[in-house]
Structures are given as C-alpha cells and as structure tokens.
Homo-oligomer: A and B are copies of this chain.
Amino acid sequence: MLNTALQSDLSALVQGVNMIWVLTVTFLIFFMHAGFAMLEAGQVRSKNVANQLTKNLLTWSVGVVIYFLVGAAISTITGGLTGGGSYAVVDAFAAIYMPEAGAAAAWVNWLFGAVFAMTAATIVSGAVAGRAKLRAYVSYTILLAAVIYPVIVGFTWGGGFLSSLGFKDFAGGVIVHAMGGIAGLTAAWIIGPRMNRFNDDGTANVIPGHSLTFAVLGTLILAFGWYGFNVGTSASPLALDGSAVVLGSFATVGRVALVTTLGMAAGAIGAAGVAIYKTGKVDTLYVANGLLAGLVGITSIADAIVWPGAIAVGILAGAQLPVVFEFVEKRLHIDDVCAVFPVHGSAGILGALAYPFVATSFWSGSASFVGLLVPQVVGVAVIAVWTFAATALVFGALRAIGQARVSRQHEVEGLDTSEHGVDTYPEFGGPDESSARVDG
C-alpha cells in the first residue's frame, strides 16, 4: 500500500518537474520571434523595417490562434489517417478545446507544439520582404498554421507514415526549418524579386540591409532560443519505470547540448572560412547566418550523432551558405532577401541527409547506412514536395488575383509608408532620400 502511494506521489512529481522544463524551453522558443524580428529587420532597407516587424508580430498573433483553433487538431487527424489507423475528428478538436480536467499538461504540450509551428511560419516573411502585400502574407500564414505545417507534423511527430518509416527529425531541422526555408524560397520565386534587384542582363544588385547590429542581435537571440528548441526537445527529463524515477529524455540531453553547441560554432567557422576564401574578408552577415545554418543542420539529428559529426555537419552547413545563396541569386534569380533558403532550407536538408554518416547507431554498428538513409531521403522529399506545392498554390492564387504584391509606387516609397503609415526612423533620414541613394 505504501508502495502504491509512493508511486502515485512520484507520478505527479515527474509530471510537475517535466512541465517546469517544457514551459521554460517553450518561453525560450517563443523568444525566437524577437530574434527573427531583429534578424530580418536588420536585413531589410530602412523604408521596409516596420513592415517586417509588423509581419513578425502578426505571424505570431494570427498564427497561434489559428494553430489553436484548427492546426493542432489537423496534426492529430493527419497522424491518425496516415499512420495506418484513423482518427475521430471530433475527438481531435475536443482534446485541444476541452482536455480532461485531470490533464493539466494538455495545454502546456499544445503551447510547446505551437512555438515550433510559429517558428516555421515566421521564417517565410524573411524571403518575401520588401514587396509582399501584408494581406497576402497574413493569408498564407493562416493557411500555414491551419493546414500546411500541421499536415507535416501529422506525417512525422504525429505518428503518420513518415514516422512509421523511420524518418528521423529530432527537433525540426526538416519539419520546421527546411519547411520554412522551402516555403520562403517558393514564395519569393512566385512573387518575384524586388525592383532593381536584378538587371536586364541578369546580373544582380546587392541591396544591403539597414543595420548589421540588429541582424547580429537577432542571430544571438535566435541562438539563445535554439537551446530551448534543441535541448528542450529532450522534453521529458524524468520518467517512471514501474515505481522508479529514471532519467527520461535527459539520458541523452548532454549529447544534445554538446552537439548543438559544436554545430552552431562550426557553422560560423565554415561560413567564415568560405568568405575568406572567396573575398579575403570575413563578412559579418555570413558568419551570423552561418552560425544559424550550423544550428539548422544539427537540429534534426542532435540526439543521435557522434560529436565529430556535429563539427562536420556544422562546417558543411555553414560553408554551403554562401554557395547556395549565390546559386539562388545568380542562377535561379530568386530574391530571397534574408537568405532563408540557404540558412533554413538547404542546411536543414543537408543535416537530415547527413544523418547516416554521423549516427551513433551507424558507428556502433547497430544500424545500417542504407537503412538510415532511405527514410531520410523519403522524408525530405515528401516534406519538400508538399511544402513547395502548397506554397506555390497559395501564392500563385494570390498572384493570379493581383493580391500578392504591392504596387510599384508603394514599393519605391517603402512598405512602411504604404502598408502601415509609419516612418521607422523619422529622425534619421526619410525613406525618400535613402531609396534615392541605394535603390535608384
């Protein structure tokens, strides 16, 4: 009897302790919105800063409500449908709207999921900066939060067919980041480049962002939040094994923390190295974005790779950044303003596909290379195709009805004036002057 009493004791204890951790890391991941806001604001022209900031605020505000009302249940349903079973639609919504009285953690877990969803959503705004209509962007965000992202979660974390197949994405390197990067690239492609971004002969003009300081601040806020994103995905520090408390996902948390750190560091080093190789100088923005690309690269695999692999994946993720950025710009002629594809898209894909090379299970001989590789290739392909198709459909439709992009005049004036009626820096030179100086 005593034993029973204790068991119940420890169950509430484990739940409470785990919730402390989940809430703490959820707050850190939420704070990544400040990181994205600063990173993107710093990389756009001063006449478009308020527009970028507003998009970030509305991504969270509109998106999280939609994800509560619709998206989370869609994940559950998709997971059930594609996972070999089926799922009662009403139950899926009821589990979000009216969790059982005893289920203290249901809404905590929802919020933990929501901050991942909103990370995917906010990545897109960096790609379409400086010319997307606010309404177009918000419309896309609503669909992303309601359906596009939840379907991917259903396929994977929600127990769907990619999960059954063995697709590995620990903390969302593909599900969140590659998804956001691919969506951003697709949207930027459909919506077209900013004026004067490309010349008639196909060469590109650089339109520098207005503040490297804000961009680096954003980078460091993101890195801070990323510890929540990755290490926090070890979301059940404790577990019950019969009546005994044991380490749950914290059994591997040291690896996640180490690998995240090394991957991030190696990403910055890789990007810096390529910058030096190409220009002899260490471009600040490449270092910052390389650090983020290293984080992205490691995110899908951080709990299950050998640490030298983290250094290798990080360096590659950082080093591919300038190369892929140039490819997108000079070959595809897509104006991905904040480099979201090289940072989130290709780096996320790279990390997922690198998994077999660096997996602890491969090096310990407990898994075969091909057995690890196939689900990664399938998973990346499915998520990429779905994201591309859904995003192309939405932005294609918006373009078809003339709602995707602001007018030429509004673009010249800057979106701060035309969409928001504000001047971000009224004392530091008006939008007209600066547009004359740099865009003209």
Which chain A residues have a beta carbon within 8 Å of chain B's beta carbons? 2-3, 5-6, 8-10, 12-13, 15-17, 19-21, 23-24, 26-28, 30-31, 33-34, 37-38, 41, 45-46, 49-51, 53-54, 56-58, 60-62, 64-65, 68, 97, 99, 103-108, 110-111, 114, 134, 208-214, 216-217, 219-221, 223-224, 227-228, 231, 237-238, 243-248, 250-255, 257-258, 261-262, 264-269, 272, 279, 281-285, 287-288, 291, 307, 311, 416, 419-429, 434, 437-438
Q: Are B5 and A2 in contact (CB under 8 A)?
A: no
Q: Are B438 and A247 in contact (CB under 8 A)?
A: no
Chain B residues near A10: list those with CB within 8 A.
9, 13, 245
Chain B residues near A210: list those with CB within 8 A.
425-428
How many copies of this chain are found per oligomer?
3
Q: Are A107 and B255 in contact (CB under 8 A)?
A: yes
Given the known A-B contacts A104-B250, A208-B423, A214-B213, are A264 and B61 also in contact in the complex, defined by CB atoms under 8 Å? yes
Complex Cα distance A97/B262, Å?
13
Contact among B6, B37, B51, B279 with A6 in the assembled complex (CB-CB below 8 Å): B6
Max count, chain B CB within 10 A of own CB: residue among A3, A261, A268, A421: A261
Given the known A-B contacts A65-B269, A427-B438, are A13 and B216 also in contact in the complex, defined by CB atoms under 8 Å? no
Q: Are B220 and A258 in contact (CB under 8 A)?
A: no
Complex Cα distance A227/B261, Å?
21
Chain B residues near A429: list those with CB within 8 A.
427-428
Contact among B3, B64, B217, B284 with A422 in the assembled complex (CB-CB below 8 Å): B284
Complex Cα distance A262/B219, Å?
27
Chain B residues near A248: list those with CB within 8 A.
16
Chain B residues near A423: list those with CB within 8 A.
208
How far apart are A435's CB and chain B's nearest CB, in angstroms?
9
Q: Would you list 12 pairs from A and B whose C-beta atoms are within 8 A, ordered by A residue? A: A12-B247, A16-B17, A20-B24, A27-B227, A53-B213, A54-B284, A56-B216, A68-B261, A97-B307, A208-B426, A213-B424, A283-B420
Q: Are B9 and A257 in contact (CB under 8 A)?
A: no
Q: Are B108 and A257 in contact (CB under 8 A)?
A: yes
Chain B residues near A49: list those with CB within 8 A.
212-213
Q: Are A9 and B244 in contact (CB under 8 A)?
A: yes
Q: Are A419 and B282 in contact (CB under 8 A)?
A: yes
Known: A16-B247, A65-B265, A210-B428; 8 extra A-B contacts, CB below 8 A, are A9-B10, A10-B245, A27-B224, A27-B231, A61-B265, A65-B266, A104-B254, A282-B419
Q: Are A224 and B31 in contact (CB under 8 A)?
A: yes
Chain B residues near A64: list those with CB within 8 A.
261-262, 265
Chain B residues near A114: list those with CB within 8 A.
261
Given the known A-B contacts A24-B24, A65-B269, A250-B19, are A34 and B437 also in contact in the complex, defined by CB atoms under 8 Å? no
Given the known A-B contacts A16-B237, A429-B427, are A58 and B268 also in contact in the complex, defined by CB atoms under 8 Å? yes
Q: Are B9 and A245 in contact (CB under 8 A)?
A: yes
Contact among B50, B279, B425 with A284 in the assembled complex (CB-CB below 8 Å): B50
Complex Cα distance A161/B248, Å?
39
Chain B residues near A99: list those with CB within 8 A.
254
Given the known A-B contacts A16-B17, A265-B65, are A38 and B217 also in contact in the complex, defined by CB atoms under 8 Å? yes
How far apart are A29's CB and chain B's nearest CB, in angstroms?
10
Q: Are B427 and A279 in contact (CB under 8 A)?
A: no
Q: Are B20 and A421 in contact (CB under 8 A)?
A: no
Complex Cα distance A423/B193, Å?
23
